[in-house]
Amino acid sequence: MKDQNGRSLNRGANLAISPDRLWDDLMETAAFGATAKGGVCRLTLSDDDRKVRDWFTARAQAIGCTVTVDDMGNMFARRDGLRNDIPPIAMGSHLDTQPTGGKFDGVLGVLAALEALRTLQESGYRTFAPVEVINFTNEEGSRFAPAMLASGVFAGVFEREWAASQKDRDGISFGQALDAIGYRGPHRCGDHPLSAYFELHIEQGPILEKENDDIGIVTGIQGIRWYEATMIGQEAHTGATPMTMRKNALLGAARMIETVNAIALRHPPHAVATVGLVEVMPNSRNVVPAEVFFTIDVRHPQVAVLDAIENSINSEFRTAMSDYDLSGSLTRIWENPPVAFDPNCIASVRKAAAACGASARDMISGAGHDAAFIMRVAPSGMIFVPCRNGISHNETEFSTKEQCSKGAQVLLQSVVEFDRRLAGEL
């Protein structure tokens, strides 16, 4: 195969990432927001987020990449190809973490992509298309709901103004926080076409480790729905108010916490549902709780089952309010429908895993990822590597150097394989 100038395209058979360099990057970035228990608290658009963004910019520029930022804070590190008139092939994920997050969730996808670019640069390999690394803003959704906020704007799922107006629990808007750390870029979010997008991630589940497989070839992502609920009763003195005359909002919330769990158990084996955030007001030991705010996270690969679960939750919520003489509201604030990834991207990952000698299995992602939204605007695929005991969103989250490097190698070869496919089509 030759380029438009008649030069032979390097087949890339000898490309090899540096496991040590990738691991050093993972450990170095873990210092930005490091916790006492060995994890990372690097919330979206915090000062530690600014620091890791500055670090990423410097490392990308050091290998000759051009770094740009859009008006949602998404970052793009670009290495030119032989044909810069066509959209880039992108790799990426996110650098923000949960409040008690680990060193690998999201970060591995960005740093492995950076290592892939380093490897291409050092080898002198010229891809047909430009290749980019993307750091998406607010994937976790732990500070600003919903999750994948900036990739959602990129894909046209969310309106830019609405996304920028979302506030954290302290009343600070996304737009205000973005300006505060100096990462509101000049480019309009979404005005950035892609030829393809590949995302490497830890599995965040136990299957790969249990089955002793190196690589998960992700064929799709299950549907996700998020809800916010408020139950309102009446403040009263705990010593002077008879039990039969109370309007205890916490009792209603406790009923719903147990009920949400029970509803998911009615739809085995894939349904999961969780109440993960609860706020009680006035939160005093001698005042009957007057108001409770809580969230519900529901996931399943089929829309029909998601609908059935939602209907059951709504019905039980009304019953609980009636039983405890409460008022309130239950609102679905976000939905990410089930996603099937692009067949050509999946085929590229499959071929790359085989070429790297990695054992692999097809799987559906139980967690949401930026790739779910990007699939709406560009062919996309994902690669999983094992994590110890399947634990993630936890300070003990861990993948070995070997597991991370195998994933990075498959990521690089997937991009090279897709690039060859693209060159043959144009």
Residues 336 and 138: their CA atoms lie apart, in Å, by: 15
369 is in an annotated binding site: no
Q: How many other CB atoms are there within 10 angstroms of residue 318's CB atom?
A: 12
Q: End-to-end distance of the chain based on CA atoms, in angstroms? A: 12
Sign of CA dihedral 221, 227, 228, 234: negative
Using CA atoms, how far residue 124 sits from 120, 314, 419, in Å, is 6, 58, 16
Using CA atoms, how far residue 232 sits from 58, 235, 250, 324, in Å, is 50, 9, 9, 10
Sign of CA dihedral 25, 26, 30, 36: negative
140 is in an annotated binding site: yes
Q: Closest Cα to residue 408, out of 117, 194, 101?
A: 117
94 is in an annotated binding site: yes
Sign of CA dihedral 302, 305, 311, 317: negative
Return binding residues.
94, 105, 140, 201, 393
Residues annotated in a binding site for Zn(2+): 94, 105, 140, 201, 393
